[in-house]
Amino acid sequence: MTKVIAKKICMVGPFAVGKTSLVRRFVESIFSDNYMTTIGVKISKKIVEANDYQVNLMIWDIEGVDVFTSLKPSNLRGAAGVLLVLDGTRPKSIDVADDIYKTLREYLPDVPVVCLLNKSDLDIDWKLESTDIQKLEASGMTTIKTSAKTGENVEQAFQILVDEMAQNSEGSVLL
């Protein structure tokens, strides 16, 4: 019989990079072009499979970081994985990512972090260069280009994180 376990993952990143849109695409398969800023936290749930486990993902969509709002470490507590979302059309989001990643490593030193380079559908406006991506990967993150709009790589990104979570806890009873 398939075992069922619950896992918390966090969506973090600068403001307006598409965290909520990615969650909506992943959980509800819908997308809206209207930008509605997230305030606080919104929790969504979705079941995925990994290593014969049925994983009840509890996805914490956390308000984006800007000059008014910093990442609250208490919201990260207990997370088994993190999706750090950036906007590939906004180089500024890379600078902010650096600080966020430091916070993640301080409070969640061992959990896997997958970096989503979102808005890949806007290829004309795409500003991230391969050197930026190399830098992100050098810090220990897996990167993947996604588009909440077209759905490109969204399922895969979540699956990569769940797989890394599984690998990370190999041998432990949890996953």
Partner 1 sequence: MSLLDGVIQELGVVALAKEDNSHFRVLNNQCSWFDDLLRSLGCILSEDSSSISCDALCNAFPFIENFLIDAKDIWNSSNQQTIRSGIWTELDQKNNEYQLEARACCIQGEAVLLIENHTPTFFKYQGVYQKARDIALLNEKLISELNLRQRQLQSEIERHILQSNSIQQVSDSIQGHTSAVLICQPNGDVEVINKALVDIYQLDPQADLKRTSLLDQWIAEAEKVYPELKRVIEKGSYWEGEFESKNASGITRWVRLTIGPIKEYDGSISHYVCVANDISEFRNMNDSNSSEHGYDFTTHLPNRRHFWRHINNLAESVRSDEYGMALMYIDLDYFKRVNDDLGHQAGDFLLSTIATRISRCVKYHDFVAHLGGDEFVVVMQYVEDIALLQLVAERILAAVRESLFVNEQSISMSASIGIATTFDARFEPGDLVRQADLAMYAAKELGKGQARFYEIHMEHNIPHKLQRERELIDALEKQEFVLHFQPQISISGKESVRAEALIRWQHPAHGLLAPGDFIAIAEESGLIIPIGTWVLKQACRVGADLIGRHQQTSITVNISAKQLKHPGFYDTLVQCLSESQFPASLLELEITESCFLEDMEIVISLLNRIRQLGVTIALDDFGTGFSSLNYLRKLPVDYLKIDRSFIQELKVDHESQAITASVIKLAQKLNIRVVAEGVETLEQFDFLRRWHVDFVQGFLFYKPLPLNVLQESYCTIRTLNDENKLADS
Which residues neighbour 9 within 8 Å (Cβ) at sequence distance 6 or greater?
A: 57, 58, 59, 60, 79, 80, 81, 82, 83, 161, 165
Between 28 and 137, name the residue whose CB sits nearer to partner 1.
Answer: 28
Dist CA 119 CA 90 (whole Å): 10
Dist CA 1 CA 78 (whole Å): 26
Which range touches partner 1 (CB under 8 A), out of 46-54, 65-73, 106-114, 144-152?
65-73
Asked if 46 is part of the footprint of partner 1 (rule: CB under 8 A), the reply reads no
Q: What six digits make up the tokens of 142?
A: 């897996």
Q: Looking at residues 69 to 128 of the shown chain, list those that interact with partner 1 (rule: CB under 8 A).
A: 72, 74-75, 77-78, 90-92, 127
Please answer whether residues 88 and 127 qualify as being in contact, where contact means their C-beta atoms are separated by less than 8 angstroms: yes
Between 59 and 115, name the residue whose CB sits nearer to partner 1.
Answer: 59
Binding residue for partner 1, selected from 4, 29, 32, 40, defined by CB under 8 A:
40
Which range touches partner 1 (CB under 8 A), out of 29-37, 114-122, 131-139, 142-150?
29-37
The owner of tokens 């308000």 is 63
The residue ranges that bind partner 1 (CB under 8 A) are: 8, 15-16, 35-37, 39-43, 58, 64, 66-68, 72, 74-75, 77-78, 90-92, 127
